Amino acid sequence: MPTLHWIGKEKVINHHQDVPYRVLEHQYGFDTDGEKPQAVNSGNKIIHGDNLEALKSLLPEYEGKVNCIYIDPPYNTGKDEWKYNDRVEHPKIIEWLNQVVGKEGEDLSRHDKWLCMIYPRLVLLHKLLAKKGVIVISIDNNELYNLKLILDSIYGSSNFIGTIIWKNATDNNPTQIANEHEYLICYAKDKKSLAPVWKSPNLDVKQKLLDLESELLQKFNDNKKRQREYSNWLKENKPYLWPFQDYKFIDKNGIFTGSRSVHNPGKEGYRYDIIHPETNMPCKQPLMGYRFPETTMEDLLEKGKIIFGKDHTKIIELKIYVKDYRVKLPSVIESDSRKGANTLKNLFNTSKVKFKNPKSFELLEEILSFTGSKNAIILDSFAGSGTTAHAVLNLNKGDGGNRKFILIEMEDYANNITAERVKRVINGYGEDTKAVEGTGGSFNYYELGEPLFLQDDNLNENIALSKIRAYIWFSETRQPISTGLASSNSYFLGKHEDTAYYFVYEKESLTTLDYDLLPQIQEKAEQYIIYADNCLLPQNFLSEKNIIFKKIPRDITRF
């Protein structure tokens, strides 16, 4: 498999392991009643802070749990006015490059810098993704091919699902080729675990067509008028009607049908005669024979599912109805890029809130409706103006779903734009004819807090004990905080796979695993893992009692 090399790669390939684990500090909860100091029980999160460190902070609760990831990273076009700063010259990223890449960072090209920035983030996103999860990334030609290669290396080339072309604008300053599109590149954590075909629960063409057919039959007695109205609808919805690309046939009720080949591809198929109803002669056979056995073909003939040519010299075709086919995610999506900006203007009742080319929530609704279930956890670590949350809330309102969103935004506008947008979507926004009803919902807002470990590798005693305990539990079991944790006033953490875990820790004093402590080890288990500052028990006693001692902080696993 081809590999991609860039300046600084050796310094960042494992950088995700060195990223400090920081705790999330809850700031406020929000629901339709407004802000409140206590957390709301929604599962929705907006996090302000560096997205690399914030992704690390999500691991204890969300590793292997996120169903769908959408990110819209800097495209790296070199245009300074872009909000995320396309040249990746943001002071925080420059500081990071200098710390991680060292002197090499001063000579990095624009593409090398972008790769150094994106690579560790993609690694952490991979860790968060569920086995049946998918990641969708917006990008353009500047980094598309570099991105494809590093995604192949992290996610595996066999997990590449496809690339969607998003036709969004016309290039007003074309050179040799007018640039009228961007891309959405899609990978799975484990492609074999995905459904063979993605079917949208929100774009159910079958039901829409049944409703349309009923309406047309009642509205028009003239078959030609029904055909015209039906064809117009089909053209408008053509991107969703794969594989119906040609409007060849319309039956006596004005209902569209398409056709498929009946030949057997690639190898010898079935051979038998099909008699043409007009000429009474055997129809021409496909080169490789039919793909159906004769009994199946007889059933199709009886049901009127075979289309004959004008005479026997034409190969027959298989009739298929659009109404019997549910929509698949198309490889080309047409959506005006100005929709995103217009939505922001209506949300904030001003044109002063400006993001260059913000994505429309309609585009995200379309992608998310295919790639995530109604109960999906959806993560966006380049949240921007909060479009992903907007799309999630709309989808939930439309189909009664229970999708959860997690947004991460590093810029200072995380609260007054990103979170503020979500508040307005929940409560409703716009005025007069542009008024939009609220979706309802709630979320919690967090700041990225202090690191759990200090530079000398000691535990940061400013961190709440409950969060330290949650970290230890996760590092041992890879289970979320909600599983197996006991009271924070006890040394006992929990029991997992018949191993009992104890974290014997006091902020004000050293702790020792000795005979005096043993009466507090009351849980019955096959094995015990006990953390403490020191151990005075002999090794033969530990072995006999199946006790594994781990020294604080030396033996705490860093993830």
Type of residue found at 402: N
Encode pLDDT of 449-484 as tens digits.
999 999 888 999 999 998 999 899 989 998 866 644
Higher pLDDT, 245 or 460: 460
Of 485, 496, 472, 559, nearest to 127 (Cα)? 559
Over residues 181-228, the pLDDT tens digits come to 899 999 999 999 998 777 665 545 555 666 666 676 666 666 667 667
Q: How confident is the model at residue 427 (pLDDT cuts 50, 70, 90)?
A: very high
* Among the listed residues 415, 412, 413, 359, the one whose alpha carbon sits nearest the alpha carbon of residue 390: 359
**Residue 553: pLDDT above 50?**
yes
| 235 pLDDT higher than 70 | no
pLDDT top residue among 171 and 396: 396
3-state secondary structure of 404: strand
Which residues does 419 contact at the CB level (< 8 Å), separation at least 6?
A: 30, 46, 386, 443, 445
Residue 437 is given by DSSP the state E
- For residues 242 and 330, the answer to whether their CB atoms sit within 8 Å is yes
The yes-or-no verdict on residue 89 having pLDDT over 70 is no
Q: Mean of the pLDDT values across residues 528-549?
A: 96
Cβ neighbours of residue 377 closer than 8 Å, sequence gap 6 or more: 43, 62, 65, 66, 67, 68, 130, 403, 404, 406
What pLDDT does residue 222 have?
Answer: 67
**Element of type H or E holding 112:** helix 110-128
**Residues 74, 86: Cα–Cα separation, whole Å:** 5
Band (86; pLDDT cuts 50, 70, 90): very low
Query: Could you state, in order of their start, the residue ranges of all structural domains in the chain?
Result: 9-201+329-450, 205-324, 458-551
Q: How confident is the model over 35-61, as a mean pLDDT?
A: 94
| pLDDT band, residue 268 (cuts 50/70/90) | confident
Are 426 and 441 in contact by the 8 Å Cβ rule? The answer is yes
DSSP state of 273: -
Q: Is the pLDDT of residue 108 over 50?
A: yes
From 3.40.640.10, 3.40.50.1980, 3.10.129.10, 3.40.50.150, which CATH number describes the 9-201+329-450 domain? 3.40.50.150
Residue that wins the pLDDT comparison between 222 and 388: 388
The two three-digit tokens of residue 139, written as one number: 């990008």
Mean pLDDT of 147-163: 95
User: Quick check: 47 and 383 in contact, CB under 8 A?
Assistant: no
Above 50 in pLDDT, residue 80? Answer: no
Lowest mean pLDDT among 74-83, 313-322, 373-382, 430-439: 74-83
Mean pLDDT for the stretch of residues 139-166: 94
pLDDT digits (tens, 9 = 90+) for 320-349: 765 555 567 778 887 777 888 888 888 888
- Which one, of 121, 118, 125, 172, lies nearest residue 147 by Cα? 118
* Under 8 Å between Cβ of 508 and 465: no
Has this prediction a pTM greater than 0.85?
Answer: no
Is the pLDDT at 149 greater than 60, yes or no? yes
CA dist., res. 32 & res. 14, Å (int): 43
| pLDDT at residue 24 tops 60 | yes
Nearest-10 crossing angle of helices 420-427, 338-348: 80
User: Under 8 Å CB-to-CB from 273, ≥6 apart: which residues?
Assistant: 282, 283
Q: How would residue 85 be classed by pLDDT, with cut points 50, 70 and 90?
A: very low
Determine the pLDDT at residue 318: 86
Residue 231: predicted pLDDT:
67
Residues 117-138: what's their mean pLDDT?
96
What is the structure's pLDDT at 539? 96
Burial 353-367 (b: 16+ CB within 10 A, else e): bebebbbbbbbbbbb
Phi, psi of 510 (to 5 degrees): -80, 145
Q: Give the closest residue to 133 by CA, choosing from 376, 485, 336, 367.
A: 376
Q: How far apart are CA 403 and CA 372, in angstroms?
A: 8
Q: What whole-number distance in Å separates Cα of residue 359 and Cα of residue 336? A: 9
By C-alpha distance, which of 270, 207, 262 is closest to 240? 207
Q: Are 8 and 105 in contact (CB under 8 A)?
A: yes
* CB count in 10 Å sphere of residue 268: 9
526 or 170: which carries more pLDDT confidence? 526
547-551 and 527-532 strand pairing? parallel
Q: Residues of the chain with pLDDT > 90: what percent?
A: 51
Give, for 233, the enclosing helix (H) or strand (E). helix 223-236
What gap in Å lies between CA 558 and CA 532, rounded to an integer?
17
Q: Is 194 helix (H, G, I), strand (E, B) or coil?
A: coil
Query: In the predicted model, what is the mean pLDDT of residues 294-300?
Result: 93
Q: What is the pLDDT of residue 369?
A: 86
Evaluate whether 427 touches 32 at the Cβ level (below 8 Å).
yes
Cross-strand partners of 529: 501, 548
**For the residues 355-378, what does the mean pLDDT come to?**
87
Please count the helices (runs of H) and the strands (runs of E) in the chain: 15, 23
| Two structure tokens written together for 410 | 């590093």
Phi, psi of 529 (to 5 degrees): -115, 120
What are the Cα distances from residue 533, in Å, to 89, 183, 408, 536, 551? 44, 53, 36, 10, 5
Q: Which of 27-31, 196-200, 292-296, 337-341 has the highest average model confidence (pLDDT)? A: 27-31
Mean pLDDT of the chain: 85
Report long-range pairs for 472-479 (Cβ below 8 Å, ≥24 apart): 472/501, 472/503, 472/531, 472/556, 473/60, 473/501, 474/59, 474/60, 474/63, 474/559, 475/556, 475/557, 475/558, 475/559, 476/501, 476/529, 476/557, 477/501, 478/63, 478/64
Task: Please report the DSSP string for 305-374 in residue order.
Answer: -EE--SSTTSPPEEEEEGGG------SEEE--THHHHHHHHHHHTSS-S--SSPPPHHHHHHHHHHHS-T
- Taking 50 as the threshold, does the pLDDT of residue 82 lie above it? no
CA distance 70 to 53: 18
Closest of 420, 378, 474 to residue 57, by C-alpha: 474
C-alpha pair distances (Å), 298 with each of 272, 305, 321: 11, 10, 19
